[in-house]
Amino acid sequence: MKKYIKFVFFIFLFSRVFSSEQLDIALSTKNPLIPIYLSKVVNNTNELNSDYLKKIYDVLFFDINNNGYFSIFPSSSSKDIVLSKEDEISFDKKYWQDQKIFYVVKLKVKKDKLFTYVFSVKNNEIKKYELTLTTDLKADRRKIHNLSDQLLLDTLKKQGIASLHILYTVRYKNPDATASKKFLSEIWMSDYDGENARQLTYKNDYCVHPIFIPTKKDECYNFLFVSYEKGQPKIFGTTLYSNKDFPVVSLRGNQLLPAISLHADKLAFISDAAGRPDLFLQKFSSKGESIGKPVQVFSAPRATQASPSFSPDGKKLTFVSDKDGSCRIYLINIDNCFSDMKRPVAYLITKKNRENVTPSWSPDGTKLAYSAKTDGIRQIWIYDFETDEEWQLTKGPKNKENPNWAPDSLHIIYNTEDKINSELYIVNINQLEPVQITNGLVQKRFPSWEMCKLQ
């Protein structure tokens, strides 16, 4: 009996010491991307400069190849020859079927017009699009983005993100070396691919955390941001084409890290008005004005709260708290918070890693993107509400923070942060290779995706 016990014990000891903590099994998965072929631009009349057409083509190529649904089939001269023989109203269905290509896009320029013919191999249907090129690349880029979103909607009935804007901050050294403010930070806006970037604020001060307001109403602010222009950080609202901004929340102390509900009827933020960095909620009107008093939603002894994010229905909030040790992400129900005056129960929803920050709830409500320290580096993770599983989205050496979902609940934008620089990347959960969309020596951070298309 003793020998048997010893034998069992040493087998147990052997397995504990030499077994790995986690068994990783690689599963082959079906590629969710649909093959599409994009021809080169046919420019028989040479009325438009070929270099310019190449730039236009590159924009469309990027849009289609990164929309999360299509994968552009490698181009080949044989396929381009086939396309050049095919006229605009007929395509060789069998040929493309044999190539296992589901959609074919043919581009043709006549005078200043770009004609786009999209052939659906399965349905044997052709759609035609026409747009006028101005040779102003900034303006034409926008037209191509609109075209690629329309193309996606018409073919797959999916919402595209190419025509949306992103907000972010640019932090840089003050050119005035004698000034007390060594660093400045301003709000910028660009197309989703990082192009057509333009500065929106000229405070010569520190502005952070811009967020688009998800409403199309003309009388509403377009976005909110935090500014240090009054000394303490406060939340301001402004429109895209105005230099004026207005304080949104009338509350003493620091106001930080704003988040707005999808219906634009509630604003969540962090404030030390009560002496601790607590979570507050403020009702919001359709005009972007605060209604009534803000309510203190969450506070805990010895705890720091940060980074709220709303559920799509506006009834729940996720936020960061270190109330139990290191930063974790919690979920609370805020349905009755304007009347309860008691701290709601906080449910821990990120359990795999320790330092979890900057949650962002997907617009379809199914997932949460956040940043978690993984083997010493902050990576973007996804928590799936439906399966209660967490999985790592990004890899690589640089710290990644501030993930923000696009309206399609497929794409995420985030910023890296290393010792010198910060850049913006977009990634979608169907194509796991992130794409860098900014470059340069200044720090780009706190990206926010436009939730509804601006006029």
Torsion region of 410: left, alpha or beta (phi above 0 gives left; psi -120 to 50 gives alpha) = alpha
In the set 253, 312, 314, 365, which binds another protein (CB under 8 A)?
Answer: 253
Greatest Cα-to-Cα distance within the chain, rounded to the nearest angstrom: 94
Please check whether residue 110 is in contact with residue 45, taking contact to mean a CB–CB distance below 8 angstroms: yes
Residue 175 binding another protein, by CB under 8 A: no
Residue 402 makes CB contacts below 8 A (sequence gap 6+) with 358, 371, 414, 415, 445, 446, 447
In the set 177, 342, 433, 441, which binds another protein (CB under 8 A)?
Answer: 342
Residue 270 binding another protein, by CB under 8 A: yes
In the set 52, 95, 338, 385, which binds another protein (CB under 8 A)?
Answer: 338
In the set 190, 227, 358, 394, which binds another protein (CB under 8 A)?
Answer: 358
In the set 85, 94, 157, 182, which binds another protein (CB under 8 A)?
Answer: 182
Q: Among residues 97 and 326, whose Cβ is nearest to another protein?
A: 326
Burial of 323 (0-12, 13-18, 19+ CB in 10 A): middle
Q: How far apart are CA 213 and CA 211, in angstroms?
A: 6
In the set 216, 217, 230, 453, which binds another protein (CB under 8 A)?
Answer: 230
Binding mask 297-316 for another protein (x = CB under 8 A): xxxxxx-xxxx---------
In the set 11, 81, 274, 452, which binds another protein (CB under 8 A)?
Answer: 274
Say whether 277 sits in a helix, a strand or coil: coil
Q: How far is the CB of 309 from another protein (least distance, A)?
A: 11
Residue 421 binding another protein, by CB under 8 A: no
Backbone torsions φ then ψ of 279, nearest 5 degrees: -90, 125
Q: Among residues 127 and 323, whose Cβ is nearest to another protein?
A: 323
- Among residues 151, 122, 140, which one has the least CA distance to residue 53? 140
Residue span binding another protein (CB under 8 A) among the ranges 27-35, 98-106, 194-202, 323-331: 323-331
Residue 329 makes CB contacts below 8 A (sequence gap 6+) with 318, 319, 320, 348, 349, 350, 356, 357, 359, 368, 370, 383
Amino acid at 155: T
Q: Among residues 184 and 200, whose Cβ is nearest to another protein?
A: 184
CA angle 140, 34, 400 (to 5 degrees): 70
Residue 293 binding another protein, by CB under 8 A: yes
Q: Among residues 16 and 244, whose Cβ is nearest to another protein?
A: 16
In the set 127, 322, 333, 385, which binds another protein (CB under 8 A)?
Answer: 322
Residue 436 binding another protein, by CB under 8 A: no
Residue 10 binding another protein, by CB under 8 A: yes
List binders of another protein among 20-79 (CB under 8 A): 21
